[in-house]
Amino acid sequence: MTIAETPVRDRLARITSEVLAPAVLVAVLMLVVGWHAGDEPGVSRWWGLPGALFAAGIPLAYVLRGVRTGRLTSHHIPEREHRRLPLLFGIGSVAVGLPALVLLGAPRDVPALMAAGGAGLLVFAAVTHWWKMSIHAGVAAGTVATLVAVYGPIALLGAPLALLAGWSRVRLSAHTTAQVVAGALVGALIAATVFPALR
């Protein structure tokens, strides 16, 4: 089947999976939260940049290198057994970046968001040993929950994007509905508890 023959819904699902990929959402969320933290007098709006580097950029570079060397088949890491090392690498990157940002004086929201992300990585790394919970859904739902904590209920307008991310993973047969729902619940719960508690 050529690209032209691919059903419209499949193409939409592929595009959605790329646009709402975990690394993309984490990087954007870090920048948004860092920019918001800059509302305080004397605080730079760009603290989200180093946060995005450690939470998304460095882990994504590791994954892409794995794809280039043939250790991984795709940057979405479809094989459950291949996910553990990239998740552990992501945890390591956050573990280095988090204290660095605290020591450098980053506004509390940025390290709080990194800590919540690290907690999510720990849970997903533990579960992935037995089951392939959807990280796409977890990060998408966690993004909405974080934005609600920062901006209030108006951020719930982003909920359809989280639903769309989950739908795309099921449509592409990357996850079952249960894996998407579980991932979304875990992501939202961690973001709604760990982030507000630390900020």
Q: Does residue 163 form part of some domain?
A: yes
- Write down the mean pLDDT value for the chain: 95
Q: How many domains does the chain have?
A: 1
At 160, the amino acid letter reads P
If you search the block for the tokens 């020591």, which residue do you land on? 103
What torsion do the CA atoms of 162, 163, 169, 172 make, to the nearest 10 degrees?
-130
Q: Does residue 87 form part of some domain?
A: yes
Q: Does residue 3 form part of some domain?
A: no
At 150, the amino acid letter reads V
The model carries a pTM of 0.92
Collapse the DSSP code of 71 into the 3-class scheme (helix H, G, I; strand E, B; otherwise coil) and give the result.
Answer: coil
Q: How far apart (Å, rounded) are the C-alpha atoms in residues 93 and 54?
A: 6
Range of the domain at 25: 8-198
Q: Does residue 116 form part of some domain?
A: yes
Q: Does residue 136 form part of some domain?
A: yes
Q: Does residue 31 form part of some domain?
A: yes
Q: What is the mean pLDDT of each run of 10 residues along the chain (199 residues)?
A: 68 96 98 92 90 98 96 93 95 98 96 98 96 97 98 97 97 97 98 97
**Segment 72-110, tens digit of pLDDT:** 999 999 999 999 999 999 999 999 999 999 999 999 999
- Contacts of residues 38-42 at CB distance under 8 Å and 24 or more positions apart, as own/partner, are 38/107, 40/107
Contact 147, 194 (CB under 8 A): no
